[in-house]
Structure 1
C-alpha cells in the first residue's frame, strides 16, 4: 500500500470554518474560537477518514513579489480578513505546533501555490496526495493520485466533496488543466479573479469544452457565437490573460519541505490538551485528554485517608495552616466524604466510612471554618447545609471570586480556575467521573474520585491568595467581601425556607387551563377549515401562508417562520392568529407552571428553588429549579398562578418592590439636573417625559403619550435602538428616531453619560457599576458591525442594571440580617428582580415593613430618593 500525505490550505479552511460555525464562540479571555474549532473538526475528520502517514498545513505569507503585486493590483479592493478571524490564525498555528503538525509558509506566496508545489513533489515521490481546501481553484491539481477534498461547514456540521481527475471531468465536463481557463473566462468573485466582463459560467464552460484552451478560443474568436460573446471576448482579452495568470497555481515555488517532518506522530499531546482547555473547546477535549494522563507533581501528593489516627493528624495540621481548601462531597443530603488541602504536599481525601462518620467529618470541617484563618471552597452555598455556620470571616468561595473577575464564563469549576490562576492543566470532573453520581463513582472509580475531589480542594486553596490579589488590583475586593460573600448566606437561607404552594389549587389551575386550551383548539380548527398539529411550525406555516395566503410569510429550509414577532403583526387583523398566540401562551402556562411547578413541591409542601449568583454578566441573581423569577405577570390568567403561592398558617406575605430603580440610577449616574429634579419633586416621571418629548402641558398628557414615553424611558436604560422602539410602539423608525432625539434634548446629561460609557468601554475593555463591579465588553472591539452595536448597548445598560443588582443584594443582606438579629420568626423567602418577598408572622408585620423600608431605602445613597412600594396579602397574588 502506498503511503499518503494530506495537504491542507490553512487560511481557506479557517475562513470556511469562521463563517460556518457560530461566530459568538469565545473563551474566558474573550478570544474568538469558532474558526479554530471548525478547522480542527475538519482536520480530525480528514485524518480519521484518510488515515495518512504525513500531513502539512500551508498558510499565506504576504511579501512583495511580482506575482503578489499582480494579485494586489487587481485585489486592491479586496475585503480584509475580519479581526475575529485574524486573531485565530496564530491560535491555530499554536495548536498545530502542539500537535506536531508541520506548517509550510513562504513569503510572497499564497497557500495554494505551496500546495500546488508540494502535491507535485509528493506525487513524483510515489505518494498518494489529498489536498484539502475550500477553494475550487484547487481542482486544477486533481490527477489520478491527487484527490481534492472541499469541505463545506454549516452550523458546526461538515460535509466534504471529493474530486480526482475523473470526477472533475465527469462533474464539470472539462479536465483539471482546462478548469483554469474556464475561471479565466468567467472569473471568480470569491477568489477575486475578474474574468471577462459579459462572459458567464455557462458560456465559459461551453467555450472551453469546445476549444479546450483559452488560446484556442482567441485563435478562433471571430467565429465564436453568439455575437455578444464574441464582442465580450474581443474587448476583454487582456483581462482574460490576467485572469488566467491569477487562476493558475504555481507548482514550482521554492518552498522548503521535509517529508520526515511531515510524518504524523502523537497528535493528542499534553501541550495540545492544554491549549484545548485554554480555548474552552470542550467537545474536542476527549480526543486530546489521553495525552494528558500523566500525573503532574501536585497530583502525586494526593492521599486517601481511611483511619482515624491519620485523619486526626491531618485536621490538627490544617487547624494551624494559614490557608486551607475544603471540598465537601455530598449527595441526596448525605455527606460521602471530604477533601482537604493545606499545602503543596498536604492534599487528602477522607471518605465517610467506619470511624470517619459523616458527623465526624462535618464537625471537623466546621471547626476549620471557625478557626479565624482563610478557608477556601468551591460552591460554599452547597456546603452550608452540612457546615451549619452563619456568616464567618475568612471563609471564601473561589468560584464567586472567579465570577467577579470574569463574569462572562458559564461555570467556575476547579479545572478552569487551575488553568487560569495556577497555570495548571488538570482533568475536569467530567474527564474523571463522566456523568455518574458521586456515590457510584466512589464505588466504581475510587481513584478517579480521589483525584477529582482533591483537585477541587487544592485549587480552592492554591488560587485563593491569587484571587484576592486580583480582586484588590481591580478594586473589587470590597464588592467580594461586603456583598458577594454575605449574599451566599442570604441565598442559602431563602433556599432553605422555600415557599409554600397549595397543591390542590395548582391542580385546579391546570385543569382550568386545559379546558381553555381545548376550547381554543376547536376554534382554531373551525377558523382554519381543517385539523392540524398547532404545535408544528411547519404545519402551521402551510395553513397561514399557503392555504390562507396571509402576509409576512418567510420561508426557510424547514418551512415558514411562525415566530412570535411575525404572528403578533398578523394578530390584530386575523382572529385565527390571535387565537394561536393565546393557545401558545396557555400551553406554556400549563406545561411550565401548572404541570412544571408540581414536580418541585417537596414533602413539606414547599418549593425550595435555587438562587444563582454566578450566572448573569450584570450581577443579577437568577432563579432555577424552578425559575420563580419568570412567573408571568402580563396576562391575567398568567398572574393567576401567583394565587397558589401562600404563606404558612399564622403568617402573611409582605412584598417590597423598588419603584423605577433603574431610572433613578440613571438619573444619579448621569447627573442630569432635570431628571434629578423630577424625582425630587415626586413627579410622574413618564408623564413629565411625555410632556417634554411631545411638547404638551403636563396636565394634558394622554395615556397613549405617557405609555410611549414610558417605553422610551425604559428603552434608554436598555440601550434600545430606533428599530426596537419602532417595533415595540408600532410606529415608523423615523418617529422612533424623533422620540429618542427629543428625549436626549430633554435630558442632555443622559446622552453625555451614555456616550461616555461607550467610550470608556472601548478604552478599557470593560464598564463598571457604582460599586466597582466590572462587566467586560469584548464586542466593542469587534470588526463585525452587529457585534459592535450589541457591545455598545451592553456598555450603556450594564452599569445601570449592575448597580441595580448590587443595590438589591445589599438590601437582601440587610433585611436577612435584621430579621435574624432581631430574633423575628419572619423570613425572607424570594427575590424577584426588584422585589423582595417576606413570609411574616402576623404579629410582626409592621416590624417587617419597617425593616424592609429601612434596609431597601438605605442600600445606597443616590442623588435621588429610592422609593419602595410595600404590600401585604395572604397569597403572592394579593401582594401585587
Structure 2
C-alpha cells in the first residue's frame, strides 16, 4: 500500500563533508584516505537499519556552477577548495552506493538540495512519508506533514529531527519562514549576503512580528531600532536576492522518478570486497552480523531459554562462566543485591539472591581461583560480595575495563551499550527494565531473571571478540597485567576505607563558623550595611552601585560577581579579598566538612570512597562519594581537613609517598632531550636548570622570579600551554610569554620535536599512546575549527605524558600490594591521590616501609631517567605531608 511507503533522501555532499571532518584522517595500507567513506558507510548502514525505507536516493551536487550563479556570481564564492584528501574519496563513496544497490543522482546546474526538494514534493503530493538526511539546515524549508528532516549536527552520530512541531519549538518559525530567515541573515557557508548585522535572533524576531521578508521590508518604519531600520532600507534588494538564492527549487527538471528509488538488496560480494579493500574490519563484522544473524537475534530477543535455580549443584557451575551480580544502587557499598545470573556452556541460569548467598556450593565456586569468571565491573561485584562476607576470585575477564581500554572516550558504559556497539543485539538497557528516577524499581522475578541472563550471555558471547581486539591493538598486556589486577586492589581499598575523626571534623566546622562570622562582620562594615553575601543580585548592588567599582561583566540578571570577575577587582577595594575568602571558606565547610560527615559509615566510622577506574581518557583514577582527591590543600584551612584522617588502629601511623615531578621525568624519557635527561640523572633542581638554560645564566644568578617562570613553563609544556595561558599564569604580557616559550623550545629542541611528532602521529593514526600502550583517540585533530583543533593538538602532546604517569602509579600500586604480602606486613594501602599513595601502617613496620616503598615505586617502570619518591609519616594524613 502507498501509505506504507517510506522514502529516504540523502544529501550526499553534505554527509560526505560531515564524515570527513568528524573523523581522523584514516587511510588503508595502500595510502588511500578512507575516513569520509567510512563515516558515510556508518551513516548509510545506520539509516538502513533504523529507517528501513522502501525507497532511497543519494543526491549529489553536479558541479561548481549552478543556475543560482546567474543571479549572484559570488554564490558560494567564499568556500575553501575541497581538500584533495576528500576529493579522492568521492569515487569510493559512489562505488559504495553502487555496491549497496542504492540509487544516486546529480543534475547539471542544480544542487543536491534541488533534487531532494523536487522528489520530496512529488512524494508529498502522493502522501508518502519522506525522511531527508543532511548536515545542511537549508533543507528545513522542506519540512511538512509528510516530510521530516534529520539534521546531523555533530560528528556522525548526533542528530536533530525536525517535523513541523519540532521546527516550531526550535525556531518558532514555519518551514516557509526558514527561507525568509536566510534572506535576512544570509548564510556565510554559501556566501549568501543577507542583511549585514542581522543574525538569527534578529531575523526570527522580525519574522515573528511581520511574518515574511517582504512584509518586513514593507514595514521598516515599524521596526524597533534606528540602526536596524537603516540596514534593512539599504539592503532591500540584497535581502530579496538572498531569499531567492536560499530557496530550494522543487521543480527541477529531473529525469529520475520515485519508482526508480525502490530499495534493492545489496550486492554482498561487492560490499565485502570494497570493505576489505578499504580495511573496514569493524564494518565487515557488523555486516556479517546483520546479514546472517539479525533475524535469529530478533527471534531470540523475544525468547531466551534459561532456568531459575531453586538450589545450586556442582553440575551447573563449570570451570568457565560469565557472572552478573546485580545492584541498581549507585553507591554499591552495602547495596542490595537484587539477583545473580550465570551463563556457561551448559546453560543459562538465574539465581535468586537469597539462594545464591546462602549456598555453600555457590560461595565455594565464587572463591575458587581456578574457576574462571567473566564479569562486567569486577570491582563492583567483589565489593558487593565483600560486604556480605563472601569472596570472589578467579575473575579472568572484565568487559567494562576491556571496553574502556578500547575506547576511553566512550562514556556510555553499561552492558547493553557495549554489547550493542559490538553487534550483540540481544539485550535491553537497564533504564528500559528498571525505569529511571523516582519510577526506578525492581521488576517481577521473570523479567529480572531474563534481563540478568541476557547480560551474562552478552559477556559470555563477547569475551573472545573483545580479547582479540585488545590483542590486535597491543593492549592485552595493559588489560591483563595492569587494569584487571588493579580492579581487585581498588575493591580492597574501597572496602577497607579510611578512618575519620568525627569529633575533629565537627570541631573544624565550628571553627570555620567563627571565622566566617568574623569575615562577614568585616564585609558588612566595609559595605556600610548588612546584606545577603551569597546573593549575586544584592552583592552586585553593593559593589557596583554603592562602592562604584568598575563593572567588568554583566549577565542577563544583572552584574556578574563570579570568582574570575572578583579576582580582577582584588586590588580595587579591600572588600574583594574578604569576599573571595568568605566564599572559599563557605565551600570548604559545606563540601568538605559537612559533606564528609554525611558519608562517614555509621558502623566502621570510615569513609569508603569509590574509585572510578573507567572514566578519564588519560587513564587516571578519580574518586567519588566523596571525592578525596580534591580536598583543597593550597589554603591552610583546607589542608587542616587532612588532620581528621587517621589510622584505624591504635599504635598505627599514616604513611604517604608521592612521586617527585613524575610528568616532567616522563617527558624527559619520551622526548629524549639530553639536557632534561642529564638534569634528572644528576638530581638537579629541574626548574633552576631550566632557568639557567633559558636565561643563559649560571646557577648562582638564577633569581626566584626566573625559577618561578621556568617552573610555570615546565609544567605548562606538559599541558600544551599557549602564550596566552602562560601570560595569565605569570602576570606578564602575551608577547613576553610567547618569547619565553620560544626560548624554552630552542633550549630543549627534543621537547619541541616531541610536541610536533605527537601531533603528526595523532593526525596519521587518529590516536596517541602511553608507554604502556593506552590509547586516546583524537577525532578533532583534523577539525577545521581552529579552537577545537588546537585543543586536540594540545591533548596529543600531553596525553602520552599524563597517561604514562597514570600507568606508572597504577603499576606501583600493584607492585606495592604484592610486596606487602611478600614481606608479610600488616600495612595497608588506603588511597591513591594523583601521584601519591597513602598507607596505614603499624609503628613497628615504619622502618621497613621507608625502605620498600621508594624501592618499589621508583622501579615500577624503568625509564631513562630515575623516578624519585618522597615520603613522610605521622599520626594523621596532615602530618604525613
Shorter-normalised TM range: 0.7 to 0.9
Aligned to 1:873: 874
In 2: Cα distance, 1:641 partner to 1:356 partner: 40
How far off its partner does 1:765 sit? Answer: 1.1
SS of structure 1 residue aligned to 2:841: strand
How far off its partner does 1:719 sit? Answer: 1.1
Of 806-815 and 103-112, the range deviating more from structure 2: 103-112
SS of structure 2 residue aligned to 1:615: coil
Q: Does 1:659 align with 2:660?
A: yes
Q: Structure 1, residues 427-485: CA drift from partner, whole Å, max 9, x if none? A: 111111124899951xx432321122112211222211122211111111111121112
Q: How does 1:377-388 map to 2 (within 5 A)?
A: 377-385=375-383, 386=385
Q: Structure 1, residues 546-578: CA drift from partner, whole Å, max 9, x if none? A: 554434622243444433333222213332222
**TM-score w.r.t. structure 2 length?**
0.75
Q: Does 1:303 align with 2:302?
A: no
Question: Against the structure 1 CA distance between its residues 410 and 685, is the aligned structure 2 distance closer, same or farther, given a 3 Å change threshold?
Answer: same
SS of structure 2 residue aligned to 1:301: coil
Q: Is the 8 A contact 1:131 1:146 kept in 2?
A: no
Q: Does 1:672 align with 2:673?
A: yes
In 1: Cα distance, 2:841 partner to 2:409 partner: 37
SS of structure 2 residue aligned to 1:596: helix
Of 685-694 and 621-630, the range deviating more from structure 2: 685-694
Q: How does 1:609-758 map to 2 (within 5 A)?
A: 609-648=609-648, 649-758=650-759
Q: What residue ranges of structure 1 are gaps of 5+ in the alignment?
A: 25-29, 48-53, 212-225, 263-277, 280-290
Q: Is the 8 A contact 1:686 1:710 kept in 2?
A: yes
Aligned to 1:362: 363
Q: Is the 8 A contact 2:427 2:451 kept in 1?
A: no
Aligned to 1:161: 172
Q: What residue ranges of structure 2 are gaps of 5+ in the alignment?
A: 24-34, 161-165, 207-212, 221-228, 263-281, 284-293
Question: Against the structure 1 CA distance between its residues 729 and 59, is the aligned structure 2 distance closer, same or farther, given a 3 Å change threshold?
Answer: farther
Question: Against the structure 1 CA distance between its residues 403 and 714, is the aligned structure 2 distance closer, same or farther, given a 3 Å change threshold?
Answer: same
In 2: Cα distance, 1:593 partner to 1:843 partner: 32
Of 836-845 and 677-686, the range deviating more from structure 2: 677-686
SS of structure 1 residue aligned to 2:657: strand
In 1: Cα distance, 2:763 partner to 2:729 partner: 29
In 2: Cα distance, 1:336 partner to 1:150 partner: 40
How far off its partner does 1:835 sit? Answer: 0.8
In 2: Cα distance, 1:493 partner to 1:196 partner: 66
Q: Is the 8 A contact 1:58 1:111 kept in 2?
A: no
In 1: Cα distance, 2:196 partner to 2:870 partner: 72
Q: Does 1:424 align with 2:425?
A: yes
In 2: Cα distance, 1:133 partner to 1:761 partner: 29
Q: Is the 8 A contact 2:76 2:191 kept in 1?
A: no
Question: Against the structure 1 CA distance between its residues 480 and 675, is the aligned structure 2 distance closer, same or farther, given a 3 Å change threshold?
Answer: same
**C-alpha RMSD over aligned residues:** 5.3
Q: Is the 8 A contact 1:871 1:879 kept in 2?
A: yes
Q: Is the 8 A contact 1:414 1:455 kept in 2?
A: no
SS of structure 2 residue aligned to 1:628: coil
Q: Does 1:456 align with 2:459?
A: no
Of 562-571 and 426-435, the range deviating more from structure 2: 562-571
Aligned to 2:785: 784
Q: Is the 8 A contact 2:375 2:395 kept in 1?
A: no
In 1: Cα distance, 2:356 partner to 2:837 partner: 45
Q: Structure 1, residues 191-216: CA drift from partner, whole Å, max 9, x if none? A: 634579999999x96997499xxxxx
Aligned to 1:862: 863
Aligned to 2:78: 78
Q: Structure 1, residues 602-658: CA drift from partner, whole Å, max 9, x if none? A: 122111111121111111111111111111110111101011111131101111111
Q: Structure 1, residues 482-520: CA drift from partner, whole Å, max 9, x if none? A: 111221122122112211111011011111112222333
In 2: Cα distance, 1:150 partner to 1:478 partner: 43
Q: Is the 8 A contact 1:56 1:104 kept in 2?
A: no
How far off its partner does 1:160 sit? Answer: 3.6
> Which of structures 1 and 2 has the larger relative contact order (alpha carbons within 8 angstroms, sep 6+)?
2
In 2: Cα distance, 1:452 partner to 1:575 partner: 62
How far off its partner does 1:704 sit? Answer: 2.1
Aligned to 2:435: 434
**TM-score w.r.t. structure 1 length?**
0.75
Q: Structure 1, residues 694-719: CA drift from partner, whole Å, max 9, x if none? A: 33321122222211211111111111
Q: How does 1:111-510 map to 2 (within 5 A)?
A: 113=114, 117=118, 158-163=169-174, 192-194=191-193, 209=218, 246=245, 249-255=248-254, 258=258, 296-297=299-300, 300-308=303-311, 311-315=313-317, 318-319=318-319, 323-329=320-326, 332=334, 335-343=337-345, 346-353=347-354, 357=358, 359-367=360-368, 369-371=369-371, 374-385=372-383, 386=385, 395-424=396-425, 426-435=427-436, 441=442, 444-510=443-509
How far off its partner does 1:595 sit? Answer: 0.1
Q: How does 1:61-76 map to 2 (within 5 A)?
A: 61-64=60-63, 66-67=66-67, 70=70, 73-76=73-76
In 1: Cα distance, 2:232 partner to 2:173 partner: 32
How far off its partner does 1:861 sit? Answer: 1.4
In 2: Cα distance, 1:227 partner to 1:483 partner: 68
SS of structure 2 residue aligned to 1:75: coil
In 1: Cα distance, 2:231 partner to 2:632 partner: 66
Q: Structure 1, residues 316-338: CA drift from partner, whole Å, max 9, x if none? A: xx23xxx4211123573565432
Aligned to 2:27: none
In 2: Cα distance, 1:472 partner to 1:149 partner: 42
How far off its partner does 1:6 sit? Answer: 13
Aligned to 1:588: 587
Question: Against the structure 1 CA distance between its residues 71 and 631, is the aligned structure 2 distance closer, same or farther, given a 3 Å change threshold?
Answer: farther
Aligned to 1:283: none
How far off its partner does 1:669 sit? Answer: 1.2
Of 677-686 and 355-364, the range deviating more from structure 2: 355-364
Q: Is the 8 A contact 2:367 2:393 kept in 1?
A: no
Aligned to 1:843: 844
Q: Is the 8 A contact 2:76 2:190 kept in 1?
A: no
In 1: Cα distance, 2:335 partner to 2:234 partner: 85
Aligned to 2:519: 520
